[in-house]
Amino acid sequence: MRARYRMLVPAMVAMLAGALPGCGQARTVVDMAGHSVSVPDRPGRIADLWFAHNTLTIMLGATGRIAVTDNLPSSRPWMYRVAPALSRAVTVTGPVPNTETLLGAGVDVAFISAGSPAELPLRRSGFPVVDAGFTDASSMIRALHLTADVLGDARAHDMARQYETALMETIRRVRAATADVAIARRPRVLHIKSLAPLTVDGAETIIDDWITTAGGRNAADGIVGVTRPVSMEQVAAWDPDVLVLGPDSGTFDRAAWSALRAVRMGRVYRSPAGVFPWDRYGNEFLLQILWAAQNLYPDRFRDIDMVLETTKFYHSFFGYDLTPAEARRILAALPPEGGR
């Protein structure tokens, strides 16, 4: 097996140097980790190995170039409904894909998240590896423009600029509407990723970013990072004003949580899920800000029609015309009716 692997590496390097159709002249980009990466001028076969990043690639019009993805139809049915060309991609599971799988798929560039365990194995095998990880709105925009640079076409750059404009306008709009609310009076929001085991999201995350942008405060004091385990005693000590459940967090037993202020006041909400869970690291972050703002401040954002906002977003950024019924299913974190 080792001898076979040693024979494969030179073949990979040759392919990545331009033997694949459409690779063209190599050029250099600087990824989110500061690495200079030599990539084909217009890569035709992409391995998109961070769940969330697939949403950026799809938005930038490159679904047909995704040769390998770590998103499965069973877990992301709306992604496959909106971008059916993704069905032609090879799906992989696990943190480090099999090198031969990428070789067989003709991959000429790979996108990964920050700190991915796949980075070193893929670099050692000769694949151009681009760290496209992000943790907040500003780094997401940088990752979006980086992705457009890697894709190497004008349409991708145009879409990246359109999305940045729309996101910045959404942030401006929401912040302006809550600017007069003192920090101490802003609702304390606890975001629950999973109910069993119980995990929450803290500071230095995109979750914290949409909570604060929407006019809230993250109730998870002292917690940094995503999917951090906590006890019910800790949650009771925080006693948040609002609970936001992840769309796939599990079944919520109101009786078991009834002592919490958020439950007593009827302020428990489940985040929507579309192409990607809105509360996580996808481009529907823009919609999550609006959804969260309306739930935190219903009187200030009563003019927002989330069905309309959702259908407009999908038309503009995914090229997909949702029906109002489909938009309502997404807002309720439900899969497409009848599956994909």
The CATH number assigned to the domain holding 29 equals 3.40.50.1980
Label each residue of 69-91 as H, E or C.
ECCCCCCCHHHHHHCHHHHHCEE
Task: Judge if 74 and 215 occupy the same domain.
Answer: no
Whole-number Cα distances in Å, 321 to 63, 64, 141, 248, 311: 17, 19, 24, 25, 7
The number of distinct structural domains making up the chain is 2
Task: Judge if 63 and 203 occupy the same domain.
Answer: no
Domain hosting 260: range is: 182-331
pLDDT string in tens for the chain (340-residue length): 444 444 444 444 444 444 443 445 899 999 999 999 999 999 999 999 999 999 999 999 999 999 999 999 999 999 999 999 999 999 999 999 999 999 999 999 999 999 999 999 999 999 999 999 999 999 999 999 999 999 999 999 999 999 999 999 999 999 999 999 999 999 999 999 999 999 999 999 999 999 999 999 999 999 999 999 999 999 999 999 999 999 999 999 999 999 999 999 999 999 999 999 999 999 999 999 999 999 999 999 999 999 999 999 999 999 999 999 999 999 999 999 986 6
Which of 97, 131, 162 marks a domain boundary? 162
Positive or negative torsion for Cα 267, 268, 274, 276 = positive
Task: Judge if 194 and 115 occupy the same domain.
Answer: no
The neighbour count for residue 68, using CB atoms within 10 Å, is 21
Task: Judge if 125 and 10 occupy the same domain.
Answer: yes
- Provide the β-strand partners of residue 192: 200, 245
Pairing of strands 66-69, 46-48: parallel
Task: Judge if 203 and 325 occupy the same domain.
Answer: yes
Return the amino acid letter for 147.
T
Domain annotation covers residue 170? no
Instruction: Judge whether 328 and 307 are in contact, CB under 8 Å.
Output: yes
Domain annotation covers residue 242? yes
Amino acid 339: pLDDT: 67
Domain annotation covers residue 99? yes
Task: Judge if 118 and 248 occupy the same domain.
Answer: no
Task: Judge if 134 and 229 occupy the same domain.
Answer: no
Tracing tokens 């990466």 back to the chain, one arrives at 37
Task: Judge if 220 and 311 occupy the same domain.
Answer: yes
Task: Judge if 234 and 298 occupy the same domain.
Answer: yes
Domain annotation covers residue 11? yes
Domain annotation covers residue 196? yes
pTM > 0.85:
yes
Task: Judge if 139 and 262 occupy the same domain.
Answer: no
Distance CA 96, CA 94 (A): 6
The neighbour count for residue 34, using CB atoms within 10 Å, is 7
Task: Judge if 149 and 186 occupy the same domain.
Answer: no
Distance CA 48, CA 297 (A): 37
Domain annotation covers residue 289? yes
Domain annotation covers residue 174? no
Task: Judge if 154 and 56 occupy the same domain.
Answer: yes
